[in-house]
């Protein structure tokens, strides 16, 4: 006689089979992490273990304990997934350490000096206290804005040619190769190029803000080209073909169909390019120079910028070492804030101009 095992029968009389095995509760990772942290803290308090050793002890306990618990309850397959999760979160936490440390250092050292006076005054006629970064902020905004005006049309139009007109041609391959090479150009080389170019027209020793804009545009153009090119490639060919089928010319298809579809990614790429060059020091140090007062004319005389101001405040503080170091940290915090605002603005503009889809 053979034994048969019947599956449970529900109220409707049908056999029911569980679709999932046993699982750990949702709070299991947090509980395991809390236990690991608690043991690490006890090791510090009772065993005199150092901070680094305590972190390693806690991580090992978490990396071993959580998968072991999962293996006992959920099985080996889920345990392997827990191991991968621990490794991924550990890598994320490790990557956040320098970022958090950088932000904390800049904010803690730069925040005390921020005031209305700091943003309204320049350094003209100021020795020690009482100065500000008004001239450097305005110089950075003017030079970066001019660089953007130069780079965006050239970069976007070049990307349109590469994707829409020159696909597969020899010229397009050459341009793509040159763009890739320009992406890796050191920033100081761009500064030397701008200086050599302006020396031809204005003679040796030339310093002007527009030269800094040209140097920054050399760094921006390849970033804009690559970002725009990738966004245009993501536009489905079906949209282009539908437009052509209606008799719309190619240029109008690009303007009315392709660019509006990719505008969110293009704006993001342009903003990232602006953020990339806003903190460049070497090109501006060579061609734009430094001045203690505000100069609103980028085509005449030297123009101060935040990166160059920070450089000189740290390297040549004179007898006012502490005061100039405080100015440098305040300028650094301002520069970081400007870059953050640019990134937030890119996301907002991208969401506003992104194609809307109905329900």
Pick from 63, 61, 64, 79: which is nearest to 24 by CA? Answer: 79
14 part of a folded domain = no
pLDDT score of 260: 87
CATH label of the domain that carries residue 197:
1.10.3720.10
Are 104 and 140 members of one domain?
no
Per-residue model confidence as pLDDT tens digits over 251-310: 999 999 999 888 888 888 888 888 888 888 999 999 998 888 888 999 988 999 999 999
Q: What is the pLDDT of residue 225?
A: 94
Domain annotation covers residue 190:
yes
Say if residue 174 is in the same domain as residue 102. no
Q: Is 212 exposed, middle or buried (0-12, 13-18, 19+ CB in 10 A)?
A: buried
Helix, strand or coil for residue 268?
helix
Backbone angles phi, psi at 249, to 5 degrees: -65, 165
Number of domains in the chain: 2
Query: What is the pLDDT averaged over residues 41-49?
Result: 82
Indicate whether 2 pLDDT > 50: no
Domain membership of residue 21 (yes or no) is no
> Which tens digits make up the pLDDT trace of 187-229?
999 999 999 999 998 888 899 999 999 999 999 999 999 999 9
Question: What distance in Å separates the CA atoms of residue 27 and residue 22, rounded to the nearest whole number?
Answer: 15
- The tens digit of pLDDT for each residue in 5-28 reads 445 555 555 555 555 667 888 888
Residues 131 and 263 in one domain: yes
Longest distance between any two alpha carbons in the chain, whole Å: 108
Which of 87, 111, 135 corresponds to the end of one domain?
111
The reported pTM is 0.80
Q: Are residues 268 and 349 in the same domain?
A: yes
**Which single residue is written with the structure tokens 């460049």?**
280
**Is residue 239, in this structure, part of any structural domain at all?**
yes
CA 200, chain centre distance (Å): 36
* Boundary (domain end) residue, out of 111, 136, 158: 111
Is residue 100 included in any domain, yes or no?
Answer: yes
- The residue that leads in pLDDT, 248 or 349, is 248
| pLDDT given at position 11 | 56
What average pLDDT score do residues 227-256 get?
91
Query: Is a pLDDT exceeding 50 seen at residue 90?
Result: yes
The candidate with the shortest Cα–Cα distance to 158, out of 278, 277, 271, 266, is: 266
Predicted local distance difference test score (pLDDT) of residue 267: 87
The distance in angstroms from the start CA to the end CA of the chain is: 62
Q: How many CA atoms lie within 13 A of 220 on its CB side?
A: 33
Q: Are residues 220 and 345 in the same domain?
A: yes
Q: Are 206 and 199 a contacting pair, CB within 8 Å?
A: yes
Indicate the burial class of 30 (C-beta count within 10 angstroms; 0-12, 13-18, 19 or more).
exposed
Same domain flag for 161 and 279: yes
Q: Which residue has the higher pLDDT, 17 or 57?
A: 57
Q: Please check whether residue 19 lies inside any domain of the structure.
A: no
Closest CA relative to residue 328, chosen from 344, 348, 307: 307
With respect to residue 240, please indicate whether it lies within any of the assigned structural domains.
yes
Query: Do 8 and 15 contact (CB within 8 A), yes or no?
Result: yes
| Angstrom distance (rounded) from CA 231 to CA 139 | 32
Q: Which of 111, 128, 147 is the last residue of a domain?
A: 111
User: 136 and 49, same structural domain?
Assistant: no
Residue 346: its pLDDT value, please? 76
Specify whether 182 is located in the same domain as 238.
yes
Question: Same structural domain for residues 88 and 232?
Answer: no
The 10 Å Cβ neighbour count of residue 323 is 19
Residue 59 within any structural domain of the chain: yes
Q: Which residue range is the domain that position 49 belongs to?
A: 28-111
Q: Average pLDDT, whole number, for the chain?
A: 86
Could you tell me if 76 and 126 lie in one domain? Answer: no
Residue 33 and residue 142 in one domain: no
Average pLDDT over residues 337-359: 75
Same domain, 224 and 174: yes
Q: Tens digits of per-residue pLDDT, 313-345? A: 898 887 778 888 999 999 999 999 988 888 888
For residues 1-5, give the mean pLDDT: 46
Whose structure tokens read 């502490």?
322
Residue-level pLDDT at 343: 81
Give how far Cα 114 sits from Cα of 17, 125, 291, 319, 325, Å: 66, 20, 21, 22, 13
Q: Which residues are within 8 A (CB) of 86 and not within 5 positions of it... i.e. 6 or more apart?
A: 62, 63, 66, 67
């Amino acid at each position: 006689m053979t034994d048969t095992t019947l599956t449970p029968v529900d109220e409707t009389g049908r056999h029911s089979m569980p679709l999932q095995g046993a699982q750990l509760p949702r709070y299991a990772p947090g509980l395991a992490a809390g236990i690991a942290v608690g043991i690490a803290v006890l090791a510090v308090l009772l065993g005199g273990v150092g901070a680094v050793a305590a972190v390693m002890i806690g991580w090992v306990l978490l990396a071993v304990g959580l998968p072991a618990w999962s293996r006992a309850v959920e099985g080996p397959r889920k345990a392997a997934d827990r191991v991968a999760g621990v490794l991924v979160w550990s890598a994320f936490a490790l990557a956040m350490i320098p970022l958090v440390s950088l932000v904390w250092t800049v904010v803690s050292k730069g925040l005390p000096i921020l005031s209305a006076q700091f943003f309204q005054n320049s350094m003209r006629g100021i020795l020690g206290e009482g100065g500000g970064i008004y001239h450097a902020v305005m110089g950075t905004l003017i030079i970066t804005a001019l660089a953007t005006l130069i780079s965006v049309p050239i970069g976007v139009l070049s990307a349109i040619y590469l994707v829409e007109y020159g696909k597969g041609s020899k010229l397009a391959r050459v341009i793509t190769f040159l763009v890739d090479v320009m992406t890796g150009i050191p920033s100081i080389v761009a500064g030397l190029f701008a200086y050599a170019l302006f020396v031809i027209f204005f003679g040796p020793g030339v310093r002007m803000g527009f030269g800094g804009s040209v140097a920054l545009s050399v760094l921006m153009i390849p970033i804009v080209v690559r970002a725009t090119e990738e966004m245009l490639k993501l536009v489905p060919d079906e949209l282009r073909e539908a437009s052509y089928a209606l008799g719309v010319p190619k240029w109008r298809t690009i303007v009315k169909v392709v660019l509006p579809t990719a505008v969110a990614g293009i704006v993001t790429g342009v903003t990232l390019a602006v953020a990339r060059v806003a903190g460049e020091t070497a090109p501006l140090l060579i061609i734009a120079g430094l001045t203690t007062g505000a100069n609103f004319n980028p085509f005449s005389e030297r123009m101060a910028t935040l990166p160059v101001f920070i450089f000189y405040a740290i390297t040549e503080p004179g007898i006012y070492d502490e005061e100039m170091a405080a100015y440098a940290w305040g300028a650094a915090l301002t520069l970081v804030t400007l870059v953050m605002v640019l990134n937030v603005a890119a996301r907002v503009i991208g969401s506003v101009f992104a194609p809307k889809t109905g329900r």
